[in-house]
Amino acid sequence: MEGDKLKYKRVLLKLSGEVLAGTRTFGIDFDAVSKICREILEVARHGIQIVMVVGGGNIFRGAQAVSMGMDRPQADYMGMLATVINALALQDNLERLGLPTRVQTAVVMQEIAEPFIRRRALRHLEKGRVVIFAAGTGSPYFSTDTAASLRAAEIGADCLLKATKVDGIYDKDPMKYDDARKLNFITYLEALSKQLKVMDATAFSLCMENSIPIIVFDILQEGNLRKLLIDGEPIGTLVSSKRGNDGYGCG
Ligand code: UDP
């Protein structure tokens, strides 16, 4: 699929901290970052507009610190700062590959990045820059998945690509059950009622209310982003309101 034939022309790519940790359990795996950035470069060269929301779980997760007795808002501020570290690592790698980028943060830190300004972000996209949104929504008690849904709606993304380390959504935890079955398609309501851990309810609801399809896929599998966006292959699991004739229909 090329040019006019591309199904998704503006996409929001949500990268969790876990994906950036690659094979590690903590911190940034620069091999994984560079692998992901090469995949992004390939689809950006086909003219797809890319905005990214990056998580911070590889560095700091608010809820974990709360379980150790920390004050929730304070812990969440730390979590939001962790996402900025990841965003800067991604920016550095993408720019070394020759792809122009801008980081915009939901918490102002103007020496490091631009503040989030929707119209400016849209202008960057028109100019072929990848925009990386960091610091989540800027408010505690939210997740970067919710930030991803919010930004996807704000900038008019055609879909939200939730990049993970597994190849889609399963009917039960594939790490625990050998007979877990991968789903090609699931509705927002099914995802909400089954309380799937893949995204929180606020994030699913925002996408549902704004009719933004979600695709959960394995970004560490080489070529998946191209297959999904350029070749139009039904990679991963599609979460939407109803089945379409896009290859995700059965199962
Ligand atoms: N966070 C927050 N508000 C937001 C987004 C994130 O307070 O709008 C904090 C929260 O503490 C969270 C941390 O930032 O645990 C890192 O984000 P998240 O856990 O969503 O990262 P991911 O799981 O995608 O790596």
State residue 173's pLDDT score: 85
d(CA 242, CA 215): 14
Evaluate: CB of 61 within 6 angstroms of ligand 1: yes
pTM of the model: 0.96
Evaluate: CB of 22 within 6 angstroms of ligand 1: no
Report the 10 Å Cβ neighbour count for 81: 17
Instruction: For residue 38, give the DSSP letter.
Output: H
d(CA 73, CA 58): 19
Index of the ligand 1 atom closest to the CA of residue 80: 14
CATH of the domain at 75: 3.40.1160.10
Index of the ligand 1 atom closest to the CA of residue 147: 8
Q: Name the residue of 76, 107, 166 whose CB sits within 8 Å of the most ligand 1 atoms, as the mutation to test its pocket.
A: 76
Structural domain boundaries, residue 43: 3-247
User: How many domains are contained in the chain?
Assistant: 1
Write out residues in the chain with pLDDT < 70, as ranges: 1-4, 245, 249-251
Q: Name the residue of 14, 20, 83 whose CB sits within 8 Å of the most ligand 1 atoms, as the mutation to test its pocket.
A: 83
Evaluate: CB of 144 within 6 angstroms of ligand 1: yes
- Which residue in this structure is represented by tokens 């090609």? 184
State residue 4's pLDDT score: 65
Index of the ligand 1 atom closest to the CA of residue 19: 25
* CB of 170 closer than 8 Å to CB of 180: yes
Instruction: Tell me how far CA of residue 224 lies from CA of 114, 116, 168, 190, 228, in angstroms.
Output: 30, 29, 12, 25, 6
State residue 251's pLDDT score: 44
3-state secondary structure of 88: helix
Q: Name the residue of 80, 164, 199 whose CB sits within 8 Å of the most ligand 1 atoms, as the mutation to test its pocket.
A: 80
β-strands 101-105, 114-115: how paired?
parallel
* CB of 53 closer than 8 Å to CB of 14: yes
Instruction: For residue 27, give the DSSP letter.
Output: S
State residue 71's pLDDT score: 97
- Which residue in this structure is represented by tokens 């509705």? 187
Index of the ligand 1 atom closest to the CA of residue 86: 25
Instruction: For residue 116, give the DSSP letter.
Output: P
- Positive or negative torsion for Cα 187, 164, 118, 156: negative
